[in-house]
C-alpha cells in the first residue's frame, strides 16, 4: 500500500528521527535516539559557512539509561551538528532528567523543564519520541525476560504487569469494547451493548 501519487514537486527538507531500544546485560535498559535535519540545496550559515546539500544542519544524539520502572538513571546528549556555535552549551542541562520517570505526561514534563530558553527544541522533540520507544521497549522487554525465565515463548501482546494495561484505550485497536481486547484481555473487555459491564 502506498500514498496516492504526488504532483510534480521539488525536495527541500528532510527530518529523520531514528530510535532504538536495548536491554543491557546488567538489567537496565537503553533508548538511543538521533534526529537529523538536512536540506536538498546548499545554503550559507554564518557560523559554519556553506552547508552543502545533504549535510546535517541539526544532528542530535541522545542515550537514555532506564530501570525497570522507567526511571532515567543516566542521560548522554551530543549535538554533532548545530546551526550556531552556542547550541551545544545547553546539552549538560538535560542531566535534570536523572531520576525522572517516563510516565503519562512525559511530553508536558519535557516542556516544563526545557521549554523556551531553557532547552533545545530539537532535543526535546527527540526525547518525546524516545519516551514512546521506551514504552515499546521496557514493558515488552520485561515480559519477554519473564517468559524466557519461565521457559515460555514471548508474545507481543502478553501483559505481565499489575493492574490495567497501560495501552488499554490508547488507540482504536486496543479499545476496551473492541474485538482485540475481547480476545486477548477478556478480563478488561467492556460489552458495547452494556457499557460499563465486563464479561
Residues 64 and 119 reside in one and the same domain: yes
In tens, the pLDDT along 135-152 reads 999 988 998 898 888 898
Q: How many domains does the chain have?
A: 2
Residues of the chain with pLDDT under 70: 156-162, 195-199
Residues 144 and 167 reside in one and the same domain: no
* pTM across the whole model: 0.87
Residues 95 and 175 reside in one and the same domain: no
pLDDT given at position 78? 98
Angle (CA) 186-189-194 rounded to 5° is: 135
Residues 80 and 119 reside in one and the same domain: yes
7 within some domain: no
Residues 184 and 129 reside in one and the same domain: no
> Helix (H, G, I), strand (E, B), or coil: what is residue 170?
coil
Residues 125 and 52 reside in one and the same domain: yes
106 within some domain: yes
Residues 185 and 129 reside in one and the same domain: no
CB atoms under 10 Å from CB of 24, counted, come to: 10
Q: Which domain holds residue 92?
A: 13-149
158 within some domain: no
Give the E-state strand segments of the chain in sequence order: 13-23, 29-39, 43-45, 49-51, 58-66, 72-81
3 within some domain: no
Residues 41 and 110 reside in one and the same domain: yes
pLDDT given at position 192? 84
In tens, the pLDDT along 20-45 reads 999 999 999 999 999 999 999 999 99
Amino acid at each position: 500500500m502506498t500514498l496516492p501519487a504526488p504532483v510534480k514537486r521539488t525536495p527541500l527538507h528532510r527530518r529523520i528521527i531514528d530510535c532504538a531500544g536495548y536491554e543491557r546485560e546488567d538489567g537496565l535498559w537503553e533508548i538511543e535516539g538521533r534526529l537529523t535535519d538536512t536540506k536538498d540545496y546548499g545554503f550559507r550559515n554564518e557560523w559554519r559557512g556553506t552547508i552543502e546539500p545533504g549535510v546535517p544542519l541539526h544532528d542530535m544524539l541522545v542515550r537514555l539509561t532506564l530501570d525497570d520502572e522507567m526511571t532515567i538513571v543516566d542521560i548522554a546528549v551530543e549535538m554533532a551538528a548545530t546551526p550556531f556555535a552556542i547550541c551545544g552549551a545547553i546539552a549538560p542541562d538535560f542531566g535534570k532528567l536523572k531520576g525522572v520517570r517516563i510516565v503519562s505526561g512525559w511530553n508536558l514534563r519535557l516542556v516544563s523543564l526545557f521549554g523556551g530558553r531553557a532547552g533545545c527544541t530539537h532535543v526535546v522533540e527527540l526525547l518525546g519520541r524516545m519516551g514512546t520507544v521506551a514504552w515499546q521497549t521496557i514493558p515488552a522487554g520485561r515480559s519477554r525476560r519473564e517468559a524466557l525465565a519461565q521457559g515460555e515463548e514471548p508474545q507481543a501482546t502478553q501483559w505481565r504487569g499489575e493492574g490495567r494495561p497501560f495501552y488499554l484505550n490508547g488507540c482504536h485497536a486496543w479499545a476496551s469494547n473492541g474485538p482485540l481486547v475481547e480476545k486477548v484481555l477478556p478480563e478488561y473487555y467492556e460489552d458495547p451493548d452494556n457499557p460499563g459491564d465486563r464479561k
